Amino acid sequence: MKRFILPLGVFVALLGFLWVGLRLNPREVPSPLIDKSAPAFALAQLHLPERQIGTRDMAGQVWILNVWASWCVACRQEHPVLMEMARLKLAPIVGLNYKDSRDDGIANLQRAGDPYMVSAFDQDGRVGIDYGVYGVPETFVIDKRGVIRYKQIGILTPDVVTGKLIPLIEKLNKEAGHG
Amino acid sequence: MVKLIAALMMTLALVAHAEADLDKRAAALEEELRCLVCQNQTIADSHAGLASDLRREVREQLAQGKSEQEVLDFMVQRYGDFVLYRPPVKSTTWLLWFGPFLLLAAGALLLASRLRAARARAAEAPPSEEALQRARALLDNHKEQP
């Protein structure tokens, strides 16, 4: 009897590893940008190409950067959640219109509604690379000191918003601007 | 005139050479970087939009005179160690790098202890008279048969 215990133990341990492995999401790569300064950018606005929007304009407040594109199917699924967040006025949401065409992007917002305070137009995706974007949509929460505190890869669900974003933003709003 | 043409061709040849050199370096580096959209491909293999953007980034940075290591650092800063096909050796990846050797050593130790135990058992208990007789009988039997 005793001789079976060791192989059985090894087998159960292996099952445990495989079980955990199955439940991990390999697409969620931990971002090295968490708790680092948000990469600075200044881009032309989507609607007003002659005006710019960038990290400097948002300094001193908690804000949300949402990477989106008109060609991104998952973004459509996420869109109502963003609209709700804009309605609740949680924090200003800046859109990063990623590798899109200006006309398609604007048309998309006209059709479905515009949750963004303003959208930056990142046509060649360079700002996206600076933010380590690899799967649109992605969402960053940036604090008053310009530090990235949260990154969501893939769509924001109502659960994520109520469970993570709202508590985090409330906490960040209480933090001092310059510490 | 001939001199001018010669000089021109010389420059062209040099530029072409530099181009080819850059191509080679960029291609080698692209083999080291993972495409995060299709995770089992390098950015050299992948046709994803992000992969082509990253290839452009690699080429541009090398052309600007950055070293291979600087380009890799740029990528790791943005995408993490996961972007490297060869994970770096550091405290969080020790198990990954040395785990197989650990298992090998554990196996060798287990085998050695088993063998030692078996030998000790054989030395402790000499075969009984009955067993010796049976063994002798088997051997005799074997001799007669062929």
Q: Which tens digits make up the pLDDT trace of A74-91?
A: 999 999 999 999 999 999
CA distances to A65, A141, A159, A169, B83 from A112, in Å? 19, 23, 22, 26, 35
The pLDDT, as a whole number, for residue A23 is 82
Residue-averaged pLDDT of chain B: 87
Q: Are residues B80 and B110 in the same domain?
A: no
**CA dihedral (A65, B35, B47, A74) positive or negative:** negative
Of A27, A124, A130, the CB nearest to B78: A130
Q: Are residues B119 and B80 in the same domain?
A: no
Which of B50, B67, B88 lies at the terminal end of a domain, its last residue? B88
Q: Name which of A50-54, B67-71, B83-87 the model is least confident about.
A: B83-87
Which class in CATH covers the domain with range A31-174?
A: alpha beta
Which of B88, B107, B129 lies at the terminal end of a domain, its last residue? B88
Q: How many angstroms separate the CA of residue A18 from the nearest CA in chain B? A: 16
Residue A40 has pLDDT above 80, yes or no: yes
Q: With contacts defined as CB-CB under 8 Å, which chain A residues touch B76?
A: 32
Within its chain, how far is the Cα of A176 from the centroid?
Answer: 23
The pLDDT, as a whole number, for residue A21 is 85
* Range of the structural domain that residue B31 is part of: 2-88
The pLDDT, as a whole number, for residue A100 is 94
pLDDT digits over B33-47, tens only? 988 887 788 888 888
Q: How far apart (Å, rounded) are the C-alpha atoms in residues A125 and A140?
A: 16
Question: Which pair of structure tokens corresponds to residue B78?
Answer: 């943005």
CA-based Rg of chain A, rounded to a whole angstrom? Answer: 20
Of the pLDDT bands very low, low, confident and very high (cuts 50, 70, 90), residue A69 is very high
Q: Are residues B124 and B70 in the same domain?
A: no
Q: Are residues B121 and B61 in the same domain?
A: no
Domain ranges of chain A: 31-174
The pLDDT, as a whole number, for residue B101 is 95
Entry field: residues in chain A: 179
The pLDDT, as a whole number, for residue B35 is 87
Average pLDDT over residues A4-26: 88
CB contact under 8 A, B39 and A130: no
The pLDDT, as a whole number, for residue B11 is 82
Work out how many domains chain B is built from and give that number: 2
Question: Which pair of structure tokens corresponds to residue B63?
Answer: 């052309």
Residue B23's domain is classified under what CATH number? 1.10.8.640
Of the pLDDT bands very low, low, confident and very high (cuts 50, 70, 90), residue B16 is confident
CB contact under 8 A, B78 and A132: yes
Which of B42, B72, B88 lies at the terminal end of a domain, its last residue? B88
The interface predicted TM-score of the complex, written ipTM, equals 0.78
